[in-house]
């Protein structure tokens, strides 16, 4: 049996690392909206939108959402969605040997490593993503601004997650995420837990991240979105 991996947890960890980097670099949050037990996803999105309106809205902020890695994990109420001002992130440069930037790179590598366990090292999407990550590893992002750095890490994991989701959709009648399925029937992947279905997530509850993603589930927030809170029930 293939080793079980949890890409939803990996992706949440990446976002948590980016939040820590942004906070630790002196960029003050424009909003912090905690997950609430039993709260509907739509209500959380509305709360995030309302909080960000006081600071220019989604177009002026980068939204990141993650469960606390030391808490109960995905599916619990232990997490939050936070906003950081886009311009301030653009103006803030990563210094040499920034440990928080290294942690974010490590989180992205962990996600890619788990994707490799499912797709193999020769999958084109994995090779492309690993190549991008290898470019930034030697400098740990030194000289990059936080906005570009966050966008890069989010972008490079996007395609591998989509490939896993499409293949994994064939492991269940009707598919776990049919809206992400490529034409034709995909071969099942043993041991896969994607962001679409990890730990009992509702089908399609969270699409793969994009460089322009907004709040949970709707997945149209800027740069670092993810690990959207599951409606608690």
In a domain, 208, yes or no: no
Question: Given phi > 0 = left and psi -120 to 50 = alpha, else beta, which region is 215?
Answer: beta
176, pLDDT greater than 60:
no
Q: Shortest CA distance to 196 belongs to which of 221, 219, 218, 177? A: 177
pLDDT bracket for residue 215 (50, 70, 90): very low
Domain of 135 in residue numbering reads as 7-200
In a domain, 78, yes or no: yes
In a domain, 66, yes or no: yes
In a domain, 217, yes or no: no
Q: What angle do CA 227, 228, 232 make, to 5 degrees?
A: 120
In a domain, 218, yes or no: no
pLDDT, tens digit, 9 for 90 and up, residues 144-165 = 999 999 999 999 999 999 999 9
Q: Shortest CA distance to 87 belongs to which of 233, 226, 225, 223? A: 223
Residues 6+ apart with CB under 8 A from 89: 22, 27, 62, 145, 146, 147, 150
What would the mean pLDDT of 20-40 be, rounded to a whole number? 94
Quote the pLDDT of residue 227.
39
In a domain, 215, yes or no: no
Quote the pLDDT of residue 167.
84
216, pLDDT greater than 50:
no
204, pLDDT greater than 90:
no
Quote the pLDDT of residue 184.
42
Quote the pLDDT of residue 74.
62
Quote the pLDDT of residue 68.
83
pLDDT bracket for residue 172 (50, 70, 90): low
- What is the pTM (predicted TM-score) of this model? 0.74
The better pLDDT of the pair 106, 194 is held by 106
Quote the pLDDT of residue 196.
37
pLDDT averaged over the chain? 78
What would the mean pLDDT of 46-75 be, rounded to a whole number? 88
Chain centre to alpha carbon of residue 65: 8
Number of domains in the chain: 1
In a domain, 205, yes or no: no
Choose the weakest-confidence range: 76-80, 119-123, 148-152: 76-80
pLDDT bracket for residue 69 (50, 70, 90): confident
Quote the pLDDT of residue 8.
87
In a domain, 226, yes or no: no
């Amino acid at each position: 049996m293939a080793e079980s991996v949890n890409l939803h947890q990996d992706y949440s960890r990446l976002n948590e690392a980016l939040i820590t980097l942004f906070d630790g670099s002196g960029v003050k949050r424009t909003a912090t909206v905690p997950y609430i037990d039993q709260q509907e996803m739509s209500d959380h999105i509305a709360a995030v939108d309302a909080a960000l309106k006081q600071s220019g809205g989604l177009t002026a902020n980068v939204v990141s959402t993650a469960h606390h890695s030391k808490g109960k994990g995905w599916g619990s109420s232990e997490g939050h969605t936070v906003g950081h001002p886009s311009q301030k992130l653009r103006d803030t440069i990563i210094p040499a040997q920034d440990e928080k930037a290294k942690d974010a790179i490590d989180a992205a590598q962990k996600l890619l490593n788990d994707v490799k366990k499912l797709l193999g090292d020769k999958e084109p999407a994995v090779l492309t993503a690993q190549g991008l990550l290898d470019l930034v590893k030697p400098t740990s992002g030194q000289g990059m601004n936080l906005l570009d750095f966050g966008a890069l890490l989010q972008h490079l994991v996007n395609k591998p997650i989509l490939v896993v989701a499409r293949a994994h959709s064939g492991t269940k009648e009707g598919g776990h995420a049919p809206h992400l399925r490529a034409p034709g029937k995909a071969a099942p992947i043993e041991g896969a837990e994607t962001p679409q279905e990890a730990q009992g997530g509702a089908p399609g509850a969270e699409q793969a991240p994009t460089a322009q993603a907004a709040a949970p589930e709707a997945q149209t927030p800027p740069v670092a979105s993810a690990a959207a809170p599951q409606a608690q029930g």
